Amino acid sequence: MNAANPEYMSPDCLLRPGNTNCGGCGMSTGLTMLGRALASERYSMVIPACCGIVAAGAFPTTAYNVPVIASTFASSPAVASGVAAVNELNPGKDHRPNHVICWAGDGGTYDIGMATLSAAAERNEDLIYICYDNEIYGNTGGQRSSATPATARTTTTPGGKGETKKEIIQILAAHHIPYAATLSIAHPEDFQAKIQKAIGIKGFRFFLIHAPCPTGWKTEPAESVELVRLAVRSGVFPLYEVFNGVDYRINVEPDGTDPAVYYAKQKRFSGQEINLERVKTSLKRKNRRLRELASLSR
Amino acid sequence: MNMQLVTGNHAAGHSMSLAAEANRNARGSVCGIYPITPQTEIVEFVARYPFSKGKVIPVESEHSAMGVCIGASLNGARSFTASSSNGLAYMTENIVVAAFYRLPIVMAAVNRTLGPPWNIWADQGDSLMFRDFAWIQLYCDTNQDVADTTLLAFRLAEDKRVMLPVMVCMDAFIVSHTSMEIELATQDQVDRFLPDCKVPHRIDPSHPVTVGGMTVPQDTLTHRIELDEAMRQVPAVLEEHRARFKEIFGREVSGALTVYRTEDADRIFIASGTISISLRDIVDEWREKGEKVGMIKVKQFRPFPCEQLVELCRGASRIGVLDRNYSAGTGGIFWQEVKSCMQGQGEQMIQGYLLGVGGGDVVPETIREVVDDLGNRNAVASPIWKGIEQ
Ligand SMILES: Cc1ncc(C[n+]2csc(CCOP(=O)(O)OP(=O)(O)O)c2C)c(N)n1
Ligand code: SF4
Ligand SMILES: [Mg+2]
């Protein structure tokens, strides 16, 4: 059991200084923003195998200043269901909420943990599940996941990935959960507002954070935030939310920025000639569909 | 007395539910459940129990069932589940976590043959897979034994000197589905027997720790040594709680070993589970013929009661170990354990017999053949398979 040293804690500091994450790590920025959004809340986290648990550092210290349970790779929503059930049975005298948050990578979410996640969503467990999506298995050195975008090179798709990324928000929405949304570290106000919205909702809440990973994406650490901003503006990573699986709302409209810049800045896309026209057409289709869904919800 | 005609599954479900309910004034009880023949009735029993402070979560897999128990236990609740065969195999990764996190989870394991090929009959090979992960394992022989051992398991697991999970094992169908008239515990008795569940390392927002982060090998070594120390507490702690059990329930619950007619025996047979019940009658038959035959039933497989066994077998020249399980390429797993205990203890013949492997019925005649064989044998052979049709 690794203990945090309370001396170094400030109330909004979830990930304390001194962790060993790579420079420019989007997951780390995501944790910092999460900590700020939840500064006045009581919560604990369940983190499966991923960079997020390595971030805790080595026993007996920890970079986290909330209780954290390391779960097996596929298990975070199951373990969190157990934690949340005990919280529900023990509301405490003050009845102050005691949130349970899963913090998992795309591998733990889209791949090995899919069944566990789907089941917890279907049971509408009272959890906040956050997937920081670096589109790769970062911890094991950069292998493909089903969140890796087409054409990206990884150590297991050396010639570039042939398949298209899964649409996880829509998979979760199809579980009729009360709330699902995307987050970007380039949009901290939107990030904060949606986390705060979610803590006022009961039941299963799902977030997807676009988490730049300079190590896996072969990008400049200093450009991480800029990259995901480009992803939002060009419609590669739209910022939107879904209520009860049906009501869609777009939070930040893409502004027509050419996705070419987003691709050009990342060496993981340099292996193959990218058919930009195809990329643009598919992005247009995806974002048109989103707008249609959002207009139906009004 | 609360005598009722119930199956082994019902006995396990009843004791687990009463144990869960007994924690209502503390942090309550939570369990994850998933069905598999032949344990399904246990989790069904638990699912319909009207707990005053408990939650049963019907999950999508055994892996998650144990995941829920881990989360609940780390948050201070009493936690338990049940599984069998391939369900246990599927749960493996989290079974390891439960013990390595020192969580006092109780699991009923209904011993069923591992597939493929698919077969639902009794074989202990499923739970014996977990002999090396710091789970205490208790093998029961009757419905009464299941009911009582389950209660004892909670007391043992949650004892702060131990803080380890316990598997309560029973033979598929022969125990799980067969009805016997047994004495069932009452809530009042269980309330007196089980103190509130306290998990000392449960998560606490006012003292944030990370449970299960990375360690260097030296710290992991320390962790393993601590597991070993906890395991070594089990025999004495179990005896203490057996004594308390007798005070409250007015009956004995069997301990690590049950010894029968071994005093002057030159041949001792060792068995576990339901085979040991039939064996007892056969021992009587041989005694009536004037032969010095005795037996030992092993209930506590982990930690294995080596020293006691060595002591009890000292006077016997021949030892026969009957196993309803098989470790491919070697022999029965209880036989392996007995052999390693007896190493350097003299010239005893220790013969292994494999009975009912793959779920076959073990009839008295087969056991008689085994008893005969050990008496007539000139030299030890590799483990002898019984039940092969000629
Ligand atoms: C059952 C199991 N299989 C494989 C692993 C090895 N492993 C640890 S982390 C990881 C990849 C994690 O990827 P992701 O969830 O995307 O998180 P990231 O490392 O990118 O932060 C793998 C394959 C494991 N810990 N457990
Ligand atoms: S590998 Fe990627 S996700 Fe992991 S710590 Fe480094 S930058 Fe962050
Ligand atoms: Mg990843």
B390 falls within a domain: no
Examine the fold and report which residue of B200, B217, B249 is the final residue of a domain before the chain moves on.
B249
| Predicted confidence band of residue A13 (pLDDT cuts 50, 70, 90) | confident
Specify the CATH number for the domain of residue B72: 3.40.50.970
State chain B's mean pLDDT as an integer.
97
Contact B74 A115 (CB under 8 A): no
Determine the pLDDT at residue A5. 53
Tell me: do B208 and B326 sit in the same domain. no
Q: What is the pLDDT of residues A184-198, one digit of tens each?
A: 999 999 999 999 999
Tell me: do B303 and B178 sit in the same domain. no
CB A36 within 8 A of CB A196: no
Tell me: do B14 and B53 sit in the same domain. yes
Mean pLDDT of A19-36: 95
Mean pLDDT of A247-251: 98
The distance of Cα A297 from the centroid of its chain, to the nearest Å, equals 24
Q: Is the CB of A224 under 6 A from ligand 2?
A: no
More confident site: B73 or A94? B73
Q: Which residue is listed with tokens 């990764």?
A: B93
| Predicted confidence band of residue B318 (pLDDT cuts 50, 70, 90) | very high
Cα A104 to ligand 1 centroid, rounded to whole Å: 10
Chain A residues near residue B163 by CB distance under 8 angstroms: none
Mean pLDDT of A63-79: 97
Examine the fold and report which residue of B249, B282, B306 is the final residue of a domain before the chain moves on.
B249
Of A2, A78, A87, the CB nearest to B68: A78
Its domain, for residue B32, covers 3-249
State chain A's mean pLDDT as an integer.
94
CB B206 within 8 A of CB B28: no
Strand A128-133 relative to strand A205-210, pairing: parallel
Residue A23 CA: nearest ligand 2 atom is 7
Determine the pLDDT at residue A7. 53
Q: What is the pLDDT of residues B253-268, one digit of tens each?
A: 999 999 999 999 999 9
Determine the pLDDT at residue A297. 85
Interface list for chain B against chain A, based on CB atoms closer than 8 Å:
27-28, 30, 32, 53-55, 57, 59-61, 63-65, 67-77, 79, 93-94, 97, 201, 203-205, 207-216, 219
* Pocket probe mutation, ligand 1, options A50, A54, A148, max atoms within 8 Å of Cβ: A50
Q: What is the pLDDT of residues B137-147, one digit of tens each?
A: 999 999 999 99
Chain A residues near residue B53 by CB distance under 8 angstroms: 89
Query: Which ligand is located closest to the Cα atom of residue A15?
Result: 2
B291 falls within a domain: yes
Tell me: do B15 and B164 sit in the same domain. yes
Determine the pLDDT at residue B79. 98
Contact A86 B30 (CB under 8 A): yes
Number of domains in chain B: 2
Q: What is the pLDDT of residues A46-60, one digit of tens each?
A: 999 999 999 999 999
CB A181 within 8 A of CB A190: no
| Predicted confidence band of residue A2 (pLDDT cuts 50, 70, 90) | low
Q: What is the 3-state secondary structure (H, E, C) of chain B?
A: CCEEEECHHHHHHHHHHHHHHCCCCCCCEEEEECCCCCCHHHHHHHHCCCCCCEEEEECCCHHHHHHHHHHHHHCCCECEEEECHHHHHHHHHHHHHHHHCCCCCEEEEEECCCCCCCCCCCCCHHHHCCCCCCCEEEECCCHHHHHHHHHHHHHHHHCCCCCCCEEEEEECCCCCCCCEEEECCCHHHHHHHCCCCCCCCCCCCCCCEEECCECCHHHHHHHHHHHHHHHHHHHHHHHHHHHHHHHHHCCCCCCCEEEECCCCCCEEEEECCCHHHHHHHHHHHHHHCCCCEEEEEECEEECCCHHHHHHHHCCCCEEEEEECCCECCCECHHHHHHHHHHCCCCCCEEEEEECCCCCCCCCHHHHHHHHHHHHHCCCCCCCEECCCCC
CB count within 10 Å of CB B244 equals 14
Cα A268 to ligand 3 centroid, rounded to whole Å: 14
Q: Cis peptide before A238, with omega less than 30 degrees from 0?
A: no
Determine the pLDDT at residue A12. 67
Specify the CATH number for the domain of residue B346: 3.40.50.920
- Give chain B's end-to-end CA distance (angstroms, integer): 49
Percent pLDDT > 90 in chain A is 88
Ordered strands of the B384-385 beta sheet = B257-260, B293-298, B267-271, B318-323, B349-354, B384-385
Determine the pLDDT at residue A207. 99
Tell me: do B244 and B272 sit in the same domain. no
Mean pLDDT of B57-61: 98
Residues contacting residue B29 through CB under 8 Å, at least 6 positions apart: B19, B20, B21, B23, B51, B53, B54, B55, B72, B77, B78, B79, B80
Q: Which residue is listed with tokens 């109780």?
A: B106
Amino acid identity at A221: P
Percent pLDDT > 70 in chain A is 96
Tell me: do B125 and B234 sit in the same domain. yes
CB count within 10 Å of CB B242 equals 19
Examine the fold and report which residue of B249, B267, B289 is the final residue of a domain before the chain moves on.
B249
Q: What is the pLDDT of residues B319-378, one digit of tens each?
A: 999 999 999 999 999 999 999 999 988 889 999 999 999 999 999 999 999 999 999 999
CA distance B108 to chain A (A): 19
The helix or strand, by DSSP H or E, that contains position A249, with its residue range, turns out to be: strand A247-252
Instruction: Report yes or no: A31 at the B interface, CB cutoff 8 Å.
Output: no
Determine the pLDDT at residue A256. 92
Q: Where do the domains of chain A lie, and which CATH numbers do they carry?
A: 6-296 (3.40.50.970)
Tell me the HSE value of B36 on the side-chain side, using a 13 A CA sphere: 33
Mean pLDDT of B215-241: 97
Q: Cis peptide before A149, with omega less than 30 degrees from 0?
A: no
Cα B327 to ligand 2 centroid, rounded to whole Å: 43
Mean pLDDT of B216-233: 97
Determine the pLDDT at residue A92. 87
The burial of A62, by beta-carbon neighbours within 10 Å (0-12 exposed, 13-18 middle, 19 or more buried), is given as: buried
Tell me: do B156 and B287 sit in the same domain. no
The burial of A297, by beta-carbon neighbours within 10 Å (0-12 exposed, 13-18 middle, 19 or more buried), is given as: middle
Tell me: do B214 and B329 sit in the same domain. no
The burial of B263, by beta-carbon neighbours within 10 Å (0-12 exposed, 13-18 middle, 19 or more buried), is given as: exposed
Instruction: Report yes or no: A71 at the B interface, CB cutoff 8 Å.
Output: yes
Tell me: do B143 and B25 sit in the same domain. yes
The helix or strand, by DSSP H or E, that contains position A226, with its residue range, turns out to be: helix A224-233
Q: Is the pLDDT of residue A9 over 70?
A: no
Determine the pLDDT at residue B388. 87
CB B57 within 8 A of CB A85: yes
| Predicted confidence band of residue B54 (pLDDT cuts 50, 70, 90) | very high
CA distance B229 to chain A (A): 18
Determine the pLDDT at residue A272. 76
Mean pLDDT of A110-137: 98
Residue A139 CA: nearest ligand 1 atom is 19
Amino acid identity at A177: I
Protein residue with least CA distance to atom 2, ligand 2: A213
Tell me: do B329 and B220 sit in the same domain. no
CA distance B373 to chain A (A): 48
Q: What is the pLDDT of residues B90-139, one digit of tens each?
A: 999 999 999 999 999 999 999 999 999 999 999 999 999 999 999 999 99
Cα B266 to ligand 3 centroid, rounded to whole Å: 64
List the structure tokens of A81. Answer: 């269901």
Tell me: do B217 and B296 sit in the same domain. no
Determine the pLDDT at residue A47. 98
B219 falls within a domain: yes
Contact A67 B203 (CB under 8 A): yes
- Of all residues in chain B, the one with the smallest CA distance to A102 is B71
Tell me: do B161 and B275 sit in the same domain. no
